[in-house]
Amino acid sequence: MKIVNTETISDLLLRAAASPRKRMNHNLHTELIDPINRFLNAGIAGTYIRPHRHRMGKWELVSVLQGDVDLVLFAETGTVKSRLAIGSENIAVAEIPGGAWHSFVFHKPSAVMLEVKTNPRKTKSLRSGRHWKAMQP
């Protein structure tokens, strides 16, 4: 059995703060080839996950365990369609469908979210040639 407690989260945030990219994952799945990936993603305020999308049918579910994280959704052109505060009083969980361009921005001085997704092999990211509009953290 795997348990996430305050010690797990504190340790993960310390490792994120020491990381050059100011983010750190803690995998709950055993191997990357598991059909469902489950992990914690911790970030220090101002860090973000680059815009990306998963293949059609490959959803992603996120819930913020500590702090606040913005979920940013993009149009095909790279412009921001919407920005939602996950972890706020209004949104506890968000499920992003496959094919939707999205990003996450960490706030408040740090945040930890739980991500659950079908095996995301062949995820497309910024390297796919998209021209993204400026996204301010």
Whether 135 shows a pLDDT value over 80: the answer reads no
Model pLDDT, residue 134: 45
Q: Where are the domains of the chain?
A: 6-121
Model pLDDT, residue 34: 82
Model pLDDT, residue 31: 83
- pTM for the structure as a whole: 0.85
| pLDDT tens digits, one per residue of 4-32 | 999 999 999 999 999 999 999 999 998 87
| pLDDT tens digits, one per residue of 101-114 | 999 999 989 999 99
In three-state form (DSSP H/G/I as H, E/B as E, the rest C), the secondary structure along 79-120 is: CEEEEEEECCCCCCEEEECCCCEEEEEEEEEEEEEEEEEECC
In 3D space, the residue among 110, 88, 103 whose CA is nearest the CA of residue 133 turns out to be 103
Q: What is the mean pLDDT of the chain?
A: 88
| pLDDT tens digits, one per residue of 82-102 | 999 998 778 999 999 999 999
Which three-class secondary structure state does DSSP give residue 74?
A: strand
According to CATH, the topology of domain 6-121 is: Jelly Rolls (2.60.120)
110 in Cβ contact with 45 (< 8 Å): yes
Q: Which residue has the higher pLDDT, 34 or 64?
A: 64
Dist CA 24 CA 94 (whole Å): 21
